[in-house]
Amino acid sequence: MKNITIYDSITIKNKNHWKQNRELKKIKNAIGGIRVKVLLVNGSPHEKGCTYTALSEVAKTLNEEEIDTEIFWIGKKPLTGCTACKSCAKTGLCAFNDRVNDFLNIAKDADGFIFGSPVHYAAAGGAITSFMDCVFYADLQGGRQSFYLKPAAAVVSARRAGTTATLDQLNKYFTISEMPIVSSRYWNMVHGAKPENVKKDLEGLQIMRVLARNMAWFLKCKEAGMKAGVQLPMKEKSIYTNFIRE
Ligand SMILES: Cc1cc2nc3c(=O)[nH]c(=O)nc-3n(C[C@H](O)[C@H](O)[C@H](O)COP(=O)(O)O)c2cc1C
C-alpha cells in the first residue's frame, strides 16, 4: 500500500478559507503522510451477493493502483428513513444509533466513495435509500463535510432492468454534496440474480475495473494538485431560499 507524502507547500489565501476547508486541515495535520482510501458501501441485504461481487472488482483494481479500500456492508437490520428530527444538527450523528453512525464515524477519513445498490423495483433498495438519506443529511446538518470534493460513483446490480434510473437516483446525493462523479466506459451496472451470474457478466466487470482506474487517476491528480499548491475553491456563505414566501 502506498504512503502519500505530506503536503508542505500549501499556501492559504485567507483564514476563512482555511477554516472552511477541512480537507486542507486534514492534510496539514498529517504527520508522516496520509493514506488514500476509498470506502465502498454495499447497500444490499446480501453481504456477499451481486452488488458485493461488483464492488469487489472495483476494490481489487483500486488495490492494484495502490489505493486502500474498505467494503462497508449496511447489514440486514431495518434502517429507518430520516424522521427529520434534526438532532443531527446538534450531535453530528443520527438519533437512531445504527449503521448510519458507524459509517459517519469512518467517512470523514475516506478520500473517495463508491455506493453500491441492488435494483429494487427499478430504484435503489429501500435500506440503502434510508441509509443515504440519513448519512448525507446528518453529515450536512452536523457540518462534518465528510464528502466535500471527494470523488464518488454509484454501482448498481440488477437481474434485468431499472439500472439507469437507479444510477440517476444515487448520483443526486453526490451532486448536492459537491462531489465530483467519476465515470466509466458505460453506466456502472452489472447483471445477475446471483454472484455466479455477475462473474459471467464480463462487460459489467470491465466497467467496474475502468471505474476503479479512473477513480485512482482522479485521486492521484487531486493529490498532485494539492501538493503543487492548487487551492480548493473559495466557499461562499450559503444562500437558502424557499420557493414559497409568506
Ligand atoms: C424486492 C426486490 C425487487 C427487485 N426489483 C428488481 C428490478 O426492478 N429490476 C431488476 O432487474 N431486478 C430486480 N430485483 C433483482 C435484484 O436487483 C438483482 O438480483 C440484484 O442483482 C441482487 O443484488 P444483491 O445480490 O447484491 O442483492 C429485485 C430484487 C428484490 C429482492
pLDDT, one tens digit per residue, over 89-138 is: 999 999 999 999 999 999 999 999 999 999 999 999 999 999 999 999 99
Give, in degrees to the nearest 5, the angle at Cα 206 between 204 and 209: 120
What is the per-residue pLDDT across 124-169, written as a single tens digit (0 to 9) for each? Answer: 999 999 999 999 999 999 999 999 999 999 999 999 999 999 999 9
List Cα–Cα distances, 47 to 24, 41, 44, in angstroms.
Answer: 35, 11, 7
Ligand 1 binding pocket includes 120 (Cβ within 6 Å): yes
Structural domain contains residue 235: no
Give me ligand 1 centre to Cα 95, in Å.
Answer: 30
- The pLDDT, as a whole number, for residue 240 is 86
Structural domain contains residue 226: no
- The pLDDT, as a whole number, for residue 3 is 36
Structural domain contains residue 86: yes
Give me ligand 1 centre to Cα 205, in Å.
Answer: 18
Contact between residue 114 and residue 157 where contact means Cβ atoms under 8 Å apart: no
Structural domain contains residue 67: yes
Q: Kindly report the pTM of this predicted structure.
A: 0.88
- The pLDDT, as a whole number, for residue 243 is 84
Has residue 9 got a pLDDT over 80? no
Structural domain contains residue 11: no
Pocket residue to mutate for ligand 1, from 119, 129, 190, 191, most atoms within 8 A of Cβ: 119
Has residue 28 got a pLDDT over 90? no
Ligand 1 binding pocket includes 191 (Cβ within 6 Å): no
Structural domain contains residue 232: no
Structural domain contains residue 238: no
Ligand 1 binding pocket includes 160 (Cβ within 6 Å): yes
Amino acid symbol at 125:
G
Can you give the residue range of the structural domain that contains 54?
36-218
Name the residue at shortest CA distance from atom 5 of ligand 1: 120
Structural domain contains residue 16: no
Domain count, the chain: 1
Q: Shortest CA distance to 42 belongs to which of 103, 91, 88, 97? A: 103
DSSP string computed for the chain = -PPBPPP-----S-HHHHHH-HHHHHHHH-SS-B--EEEEEE-SS-TTSHHHHHHHHHHHHHHHTT-EEEEEE--SS--PPP----THHHHSS-SS-SHHHHHHHHHTT-SEEEEEEEEETTEE-HHHHHHHHHHHHHHHHTT--SSTT--EEEEEEESSS-HHHHHHHHHHHHHTTT-PBP--SS-SEEE-SSHHHHHH-HHHHHHHHHHHHHHHHHHHHHHHHHHTTPPPPPPPPP----S---
- The pLDDT, as a whole number, for residue 167 is 98
- Across the chain, mean pLDDT equals 89
Residue 191: CATH number of its domain: 3.40.50.360
Has residue 175 got a pLDDT over 80? yes
